[in-house]
Chains A and B, each alone.
Chain A
C-alpha cells in the first residue's frame, strides 16, 4: 500500500492511496498562498497600485521592471495571480479511480485534476461540500475574470532569473508549475463528475468506524493551535465595537462561507449589547445571496443544536433575522446597489482573504489611509502581514483574530486514544512544535509508534500487509468437494484447482481434465504445463492416543514396549525390535534399522488411529 503525497500543505492535502490496483485520491486542496507574491487586482482603477515603481537588479538592470513592482521594500509580480497546484508528475492522474472529497476547502484544485489529465474516474462528496465548494470556486473565478489583466508575467519564473530575485520570490517553490485560475466551464465540468453521497449513506458518520484502523492519515488540523476560537471571536467583537464606536469602519476579509456564519451569529447576539444596532453590516460577494440561503437548508449536516432548530419556526442560523431587520445587507459586488446604500461607519465582510483580488482590494485602498478604520483578519489561511504587504504604508489598524475550528492537538490526542490506530501518517509539520513555539511539546502529534510524516512529492510505503485474501470458488468445483467433519461444526475438504487472479479478484476454477498423453509428443516448455494431477496422497488428521496405540502394538505381537514422555509428545520404544516411534503433535517418525517390512507394519498401525481424507 502506497501513499503519494501531492501537496505539502497540511490543511490543503492531496494524497493518493494506491492499494493493489485501486487508486484513490483523498482530497485535492489548492494552495493559494502563492497569490501573495502577486500585486492585488483592483476592481476600481487604483493610481497608487498602477504607479508603483518597477523593480531593478542591484546593478540597475531593469529588464524585469514590467513584471515586478516594488512596494515598501517588497517585490510583487504584476500579473494575473497564479496558484500552486498539487504535484502532477508524481503519479499518472489518469489512473486515479476515485476522488474522495472531505470538505469544500479541500476541493479547490478539483478542476486541475479532473480536466485535461485524462481522469476518467468518479468524485464522491456530500451535497453541502459540493454546493459550498461550487460557491467558493464561482467566487474565485468571478474575482479573477472580472478584472482582466493583459499581462502575464513569466520571465521571472526562469530558474536563473528567479535566483536573482529578493525573498520571498527567490524561495518560492515549483514556480514553473504555478497555474492561472480555471474557468467556469472547467468548474462545471469538474463538478459534473461528482457523485453525491447522502447523509449517513454507507459510511456512518461516527468515530467508531475508525476504531483500530491499520493506518490513520491525519491532515487538516488547526493552523493556529495557540488561538482558542472562542477567545478569538470575543476579540473580534470587542475590536469591532471599539472601532465602530469611534466612528471607524471595519473590514473583514473572508470566504463567502464558513466562519462568516459564526461571526454573524455572534454579532447577532452582540450588537444590541454593544449598542451597535444602528451600524450597517454589508456582505459583498458574487455568491453572497446563495451562500446565506444554502447555509439554512443543509440542516442534517449541522451540529445537533442547530438541527433542532429546524423543527422550530426559525432558521438554524440567525443571520436570516439580521437580513429581515435590514441590519445585514448583501450585494454581489460593490458596483450597483451597494454604492447607493453605502453608509459609514459600517462593517464590511468581503473576499478574498488573501487581499489579492475581490472587492476587499477596493476597501483596503479606500479605508487604508485612516487610523479610525480597522481590518480584522479572521481566516487563518494567509499570513496577515504578507497579505498587507502591498498596501503599505497603512494607517488603518490591523487586528489578527484567526478563527480556526479544525481539530486542535488536545482533541487529536483524545481521538488517537479512542481510535487507537496501528499507524499514524501526517504532514511533517505536525511532528514537531510550531517553529515560533519550539518549547510547546503539546503542539505536536505524540503517539506510539511515532507518526510517519510526509512532505510534498513524497511516496510512503504504508506498513500494511494483508495476510488473507478472499477467494471465490466456481460452482462446479464446489460441487465436487466432499467435506468431512473433523470437529463439530468444522468440516474440511481438499481442493485441487487452478487459481485464477485478475483485478485483485481470485477465483478457483476446476482443473482441466488430465489429457491423455499423446504418444511420443513431448511438451516443449515446462511453463506451459498444466499441473499434473497425480493420485494424491490422502491428508491425515487427528491425534494418536498413546495407551491405545501401545495396546494395539501388543496385540500385534510387539512386546517389551516402553513409553517415554518428551517435551513435544511421546517416544514409544520397541526394545526388542530396536525400534523407536516418535509421536509429536504434527509429526510421527518411525526409526528402525533398515527393516522396511517392520516400518510399513508400524506405519499402518499408526494410520489406523488417524483420519484420512
Chain B
C-alpha cells in the first residue's frame, strides 16, 4: 500500500510520539482506517468524521505530522486506498482529501507525501477531479478545504501552479453548491495572500507585473471577471476582493486596489449597477482598510458616486457603513445621512408635516427616487422602511453618529409611520394615500418603528412631539388590533420614554406630563392583564414590574396604581394557566408587596374571607407548581425579600429560610436549587454580619463577626438546616448547583477560619457518621437526612473535606469523558460493528 514511499525511520522519536497520540488511540486507528476504506461499511454519521478531523487538526497543530504518519502507516494506507477506482462514499473521499491537506500543511510532511506522488494523485487532474465522485458537492468541498489547509508554504504554491489547481478553483467559484462556491472564493483569497507574502517578507513590487505568476494569474482572472457582462462573475470578483481587503492590510493590497479600482468604478456606469450588494461590501471593506482608505485618492469620490447611483434600497447599507466609519470626509457623511433619511422624508412629505421638520431631514433631491421605490409595491415599501428604521436604530447610540442628530424630525417621522400603520394618520397627497394603504396594519413596520421610537427616548424632543409620542404609544396600547408582539414593543418603548421623561425638580416623582399619560394608561392595563392571549398578559405584567421597580416609591404613581384594578388582577394572575404568566405575576407581586402596594380587598371569590398571605401563596406555588418558571420566579422574589428585609420575612427570618430551603432542596429544577443557594448565601452573610459584598467569593481579609463565638455564629445556620441543603447540593447531579454549593462552602470555611482555634473538633463519632453519610450521598444515595448538626461538627466536616479538589473536578466539563478521541474512535467503530459485541457502548 505504501509502495514508492521511503520507510520512515523511527529512531529517536519515541519520546515525542507519545505526545502526538496516546497508545489506546493508536491501537484503534488501523481498525478505523480499514472501516473507512471499506465501501461495504458505510459510515452513517458525518459528524463523527468532522470530529475525527477536528482531532487530527489538534494533533497536527501540536506536533509533527510527519511523525504521525510514520507512527501510523495506516493513515497513509487510507490515503492511497481512496485513489483506487472503487465505489467509495463521497464523504470518506472528502474526509481523506481534507486529512491529506491537513497533513501536508507542514512542509516536511508535504515533501514526504510529494515523494510518493500522493498529492498530485489526490488533488490533480488524475484524482477525484476527473472522476464520477466529483459530482458530489462534498467531494468538491473536501478538495477545496484540503488545498486550503495545504497552502501554507512556498512549496505548496509551486504544487498548486504545477497541478493546475488554480483554474479549477476559478471554475468552482460558480459552483452550484453555495458552500463550494464560497469556499473557492476564500481559497483564492488565501492563495493570493500566500503568494504575496513571499520569503522577502511582504515587499512585492509596486507593479503587479513584478508579482509571482500565481498572484498575477488570480489578478488577471479578477480583472476579466470585473469586465464581464455576467453579474455572477462580477459578484465573485467583488467578493474575492472584499475578503482580501477585509483580512489583509499589507502594502500590496494598495497596489492591487490601485490597479482594480478603475474597473470597479466602471461598474457604476452601468444601469442598473450590477452586483450592487457585493459592490457595497467591497467599497466599505476598502474604506475600512487602514492601508487603502488613507492612500487611495479617489475612494471618497467613488463612494459618493455610488451613493447617488444605487437605488435607495441598495444605498441604505452603504450609507450606514459610511456613517459608521471612524474617518470620513464630512461632505460624504452628510450625503450618506441624507440617503439614509430619504424614506422618512418621503413619509413626512406624504403627510405634509410642518416644513421645519422636512428641512432638516431633506439634504438632497433624491426624495423623488425614493418615492418611486416606496410606492410601486407594498413589499418594497415595507422592506425599505423597516431597513431604514433598523439602520437608524443602529446608528443612534454610536459616538460617530451624525451631529447634529435630527432628533425632532426623526421623532416626527417615526410617530407618523406608526400612525399610518394604525390608520390614524391623515395623508395629504396621493402618495400619502398609497403609503397609508400599504402600511395599515403592517406588523413588521410597527415593530421596527416602535423599536426605533424606544431608542429615540435617549434624546430629548420638543414638548409637542413628546406629547405626540405618548399619544401614539397610548393608541397602540389601547388598540384591540395591536398584535401581541407589537404590544410588547409598545410596552417597552413606553417604559423607555417614561424613564427618560424629566423628573420634576424637588420631588423625584414622574413629571406631570408623564403622570397624565399614566392616568390614561392605567385603565388600559387591566384589560391587557385580562387578555385571552397569554403573551399580552405576560408583557403587561413585565411592564408593570418594571414600572413598580422604577417608581414604586413615588407618591403620585402609588396613588394612581392603588386606585386602579391592577394590583388585584395581578394577584389573580398567580393562578394563570400559562406558566410564563404565573412567573411574571410572581415577579410583579413580589415588587408590589415590597413596595407595600398589595391590596387585600374581599374578592368576589372569597367575600369577606380570610385572604392568604402572599408569602403563603408564593410558598404554595414553590411547592406545588408543575412548571419551573413560576418556581424560579418565587425563589428570586424570596431572595430579594430576604435581602431587603421584607416585613413578612423579617418577622421570623429563620423559619422563612428553613421553609424555603426545605422546599427548594426537593425541587426537580436545578435553577430553583441554585437560586436556593443564592438565598442561603444572603442569609449566611446576614447571619455572620458581613455586609453583602459585590463579589461574595472574593478573597478578602475576614472581618470579625459580631457573635462572640463561632458556634454561636453558626447556630442559626444549623437551625435552618442550611448545611444539609448545601451538602446535598454539593453532590447535585447538575453541575452548576454543585459548583455554587462548593463556592458557598468554601466561602463559609474561609469565614470560620477567622474565628481561629480548634473549635471545630466536635465529637469524633458524630463527624465520622456525617462524613460517612456524605460519602453515601456522593455515591448517589441521598435518601438519608443528616438531621440537626452541631456547629462544631459542621466546622470539622468542612475542614476535613477536599472542597478545592471538588471545585477543580467540577470545573472540568462534564462531557470530558465522552469527548475523548478514544471514545470517538470507539463510537465510529461501534456503529459499524467493528468492535467486539462486549466492547460496544450500550446506550
Chain A residues in the interface with B (C-beta under 8 A): 226-228, 231-235, 237-239, 241-242, 245-247, 266, 269-270, 272-275, 278, 345, 401, 437, 439-442
Q: How far is A412 from B440 in the complex, measured between Cα atoms in Å?
A: 16
Q: A226-B423, A227-B480, A242-B565 are in contact. Are A234 and B572 (CB under 8 A)?
A: no
Q: Top 4 nearest A-B pairs by Cβ distance?
A: A442-B437, A231-B480, A235-B480, A238-B530
CB–CB A266/B604 < 8 A: no
Q: How far is A274 from B533 in the complex, measured between Cα atoms in Å?
A: 11
Q: A228-B441, A273-B532 are in contact. Are A437 and B423 (CB under 8 A)?
A: yes
Q: A238-B530, A239-B527 are in contact. Are A441 and B433 (CB under 8 A)?
A: yes
Nearest-neighbor residue (CB-CB) of B578 within chain A: A273
Q: How far is A226 from B37 in the complex, measured between Cα atoms in Å?
A: 68
Q: Mark contacts of B414-450 with chain A using CB atoms, 8 A cut-off: 1 yes-contact digit, 0 otherwise.
A: 0000000001011100000110110011000000000
**Residue B482 at the A interface, CB < 8 A?**
yes
Q: Which parts of B558-605 form the interface with A (CB within 8 Å)? A: 565, 568-569, 572, 575-578, 604-605
What is the CB-to-nearest-CB distance from B36 to chain A, in angstroms, rounded to a whole number? 50
Please tell me which one of the listed residues A227, A273, A278 contacts residue B577 in the complex, with CB atoms under 8 A apart: A273
CB–CB B528/A238 < 8 A: yes
What is the CB-to-nearest-CB distance from B96 to chain A, in angstroms, rounded to a whole number? 52
CB–CB A234/B423 < 8 A: no
Q: How far is A585 from B250 in the complex, measured between Cα atoms in Å?
A: 79
CB–CB A245/B436 < 8 A: no
What is the number of contacts between chain A and chain B, taking CB atoms within 8 Å? 77
Please tell me which one of the listed residues B533, B565, B576 contacts residue A234 in the complex, with CB atoms under 8 A apart: B533
Q: How far is A275 from B528 in the complex, measured between Cα atoms in Å?
A: 15
CB–CB B534/A273 < 8 A: yes
List the A side residues contacting B604 at CB < 8 Å: 245-247, 345
Nearest-neighbor residue (CB-CB) of B527 within chain A: A238
Chain B residues in the interface with A (C-beta under 8 A): 423, 425-427, 433-434, 436-437, 440-441, 479-482, 526-528, 530-534, 536, 565, 568-569, 572, 575-578, 604-605
List the B side residues contacting A441 at CB < 8 Å: 433-434, 436-437
Q: How far is A235 from B531 in the complex, measured between Cα atoms in Å?
A: 7
List the A side residues contacting B479 at CB < 8 Å: 231
List the B side residues contacting A235 at CB < 8 Å: 480, 527
Nearest-neighbor residue (CB-CB) of A442 within chain B: B437
List the A side residues contacting B569 at CB < 8 Å: 245
CB–CB A401/B480 < 8 A: yes
A-B contact pairs, 6 of them (CB 8 A): A235-B527, A242-B565, A273-B576, A437-B423, A440-B436, A442-B437
List the B side residues contacting A437 at CB < 8 Å: 423
CB–CB B531/A238 < 8 A: yes
B-side interface mostly = loop
CB–CB B533/A439 < 8 A: no
What is the CB-to-nearest-CB distance from A268 to chain B, in angstroms, rounded to a whole number? 11
Most A CB atoms within 10 A — which of B436, B437, B482, B577? Answer: B437
CB–CB B532/A269 < 8 A: yes
Nearest-neighbor residue (CB-CB) of A278 within chain B: B605
Nearest-neighbor residue (CB-CB) of A410 within chain B: B441
Please tell me which one of the listed residues A232, A266, A274, A440 contacts residue B530 in the complex, with CB atoms under 8 A apart: A274
What is the CB-to-nearest-CB distance from A414 to chain B, in angstroms, rounded to a whole number? 12
List the A side residues contacting B572 at CB < 8 Å: 245, 275
List the B side residues contacting A241 at CB < 8 Å: 530
Besides A246-B604, A441-B436, A442-B437, 19 more A-B contacts (Cβ < 8 Å) are A226-B423, A227-B480, A231-B479, A235-B527, A237-B530, A237-B531, A238-B527, A238-B530, A239-B527, A245-B530, A245-B569, A273-B534, A273-B576, A439-B426, A439-B433, A439-B436, A440-B423, A440-B437, A442-B436
Nearest-neighbor residue (CB-CB) of B528 within chain A: A238
Q: How far is A227 from B423 in the complex, measured between Cα atoms in Å?
A: 11
Q: How far is A83 from B532 in the complex, measured between Cα atoms in Å?
A: 38
List the B side residues contacting A227 at CB < 8 Å: 480-481
List the B side residues contacting A270 at CB < 8 Å: 532
What is the CB-to-nearest-CB distance from B599 to chain A, in angstroms, rounded to a whole number? 14
List the A side residues contacting B526 at CB < 8 Å: 242
What is the CB-to-nearest-CB distance from A515 to chain B, in angstroms, rounded to a whole number? 73
Most B CB atoms within 10 A — which of A226, A401, A441? Answer: A441
List the B side residues contacting A401 at CB < 8 Å: 480
List the A side residues contacting B575 at CB < 8 Å: 275
Nearest-neighbor residue (CB-CB) of B577 within chain A: A273
CB–CB A266/B532 < 8 A: yes
Most B CB atoms within 10 A — which of A227, A270, A275, A440? Answer: A275
Q: How far is A358 from B347 in the complex, measured between Cα atoms in Å?
A: 51
What is the CB-to-nearest-CB distance from A586 to chain B, in angstroms, rounded to a whole number? 47
List the B side residues contacting A242 at CB < 8 Å: 526-527, 530, 565
List the B side residues contacting A247 at CB < 8 Å: 604
Q: How far is A269 from B568 in the complex, measured between Cα atoms in Å?
A: 22
What is the CB-to-nearest-CB distance from B582 to chain A, in angstroms, rounded to a whole number? 11
List the A side residues contacting B565 at CB < 8 Å: 242, 245-246
Q: How far is A345 from B569 in the complex, measured between Cα atoms in Å?
A: 18
List the A side residues contacting B534 at CB < 8 Å: 273
Q: How far is A228 from B604 in the complex, measured between Cα atoms in Å?
A: 33
Q: A439-B436, A442-B436 are in contact. Are A232 and B480 (CB under 8 A)?
A: yes
Q: A275-B572, A439-B433 are in contact. Are A231 and B532 (CB under 8 A)?
A: no
CB–CB B482/A231 < 8 A: yes
Q: How far is A440 from B423 in the complex, measured between Cα atoms in Å?
A: 7
List the B side residues contacting A439 at CB < 8 Å: 425-427, 433, 436
CB–CB A234/B480 < 8 A: yes
Please tell me which one of the listed residues B423, B427, B532, B568 contacts residue A238 in the complex, with CB atoms under 8 A apart: B532
List the A side residues contacting B425 at CB < 8 Å: 439
Nearest-neighbor residue (CB-CB) of B603 within chain A: A245
Nearest-neighbor residue (CB-CB) of B568 within chain A: A245
CB–CB B532/A233 < 8 A: yes
Q: How far is A242 from B568 in the complex, measured between Cα atoms in Å?
A: 11
Nearest-neighbor residue (CB-CB) of B572 within chain A: A275
Nearest-neighbor residue (CB-CB) of A433 within chain B: B433
Q: A226-B423, A231-B481, A442-B440 are in contact. Are A272 and B530 (CB under 8 A)?
A: no
What is the CB-to-nearest-CB distance from B14 to chain A, in angstroms, rounded to a whole number? 72
Q: How far is A441 from B423 in the complex, measured between Cα atoms in Å?
A: 10
List the B side residues contacting A237 at CB < 8 Å: 530-532
Nearest-neighbor residue (CB-CB) of B537 within chain A: A273
Q: How far is A576 from B117 in the complex, measured between Cα atoms in Å?
A: 94
Q: How far is A278 from B605 in the complex, measured between Cα atoms in Å?
A: 9
Nearest-neighbor residue (CB-CB) of B437 within chain A: A442
Q: How far is A441 from B440 in the complex, measured between Cα atoms in Å?
A: 10
Q: How far is A274 from B577 in the complex, measured between Cα atoms in Å?
A: 9
Nearest-neighbor residue (CB-CB) of A437 within chain B: B423
Q: How far is A233 from B605 in the complex, measured between Cα atoms in Å?
A: 25
Q: How far is A227 from B437 in the complex, measured between Cα atoms in Å?
A: 15
What is the CB-to-nearest-CB distance from A495 to chain B, in angstroms, rounded to a whole number? 55
Q: How far is A531 from B470 in the complex, measured between Cα atoms in Å?
A: 88
Q: How far is A227 from B425 in the complex, measured between Cα atoms in Å?
A: 17
Q: How far is A228 from B486 in the complex, measured between Cα atoms in Å?
A: 15
List the B side residues contacting A275 at CB < 8 Å: 572, 575, 605
Q: How far is A237 from B533 in the complex, measured between Cα atoms in Å?
A: 10
Q: How far is A198 from B480 in the complex, measured between Cα atoms in Å?
A: 39
CB–CB B440/A440 < 8 A: yes
Q: How far is A401 from B479 in the complex, measured between Cα atoms in Å?
A: 12
Q: How far is A437 from B423 in the complex, measured between Cα atoms in Å?
A: 9
Q: How far is A329 from B481 in the complex, measured between Cα atoms in Å?
A: 31
List the A side residues contacting B527 at CB < 8 Å: 235, 238-239, 242
CB–CB B531/A234 < 8 A: yes
Q: How far is A75 from B450 in the complex, measured between Cα atoms in Å?
A: 48
List the B side residues contacting A345 at CB < 8 Å: 604
What is the CB-to-nearest-CB distance from A612 to chain B, in angstroms, rounded to a whole number? 60
List the B side residues contacting A245 at CB < 8 Å: 530, 565, 568-569, 572, 604
Q: How far is A584 from B141 in the complex, measured between Cα atoms in Å?
A: 69
Please tell me which one of the listed residues A228, A234, A278 contacts residue B532 in the complex, with CB atoms under 8 A apart: A234
Q: How far is A533 from B530 in the complex, measured between Cα atoms in Å?
A: 89
What is the CB-to-nearest-CB distance from A518 to chain B, in angstroms, rounded to a whole number? 79
List the A side residues contacting B577 at CB < 8 Å: 272-273
Q: How far is A571 from B536 in the complex, measured between Cα atoms in Å?
A: 86
List the B side residues contacting A226 at CB < 8 Å: 423
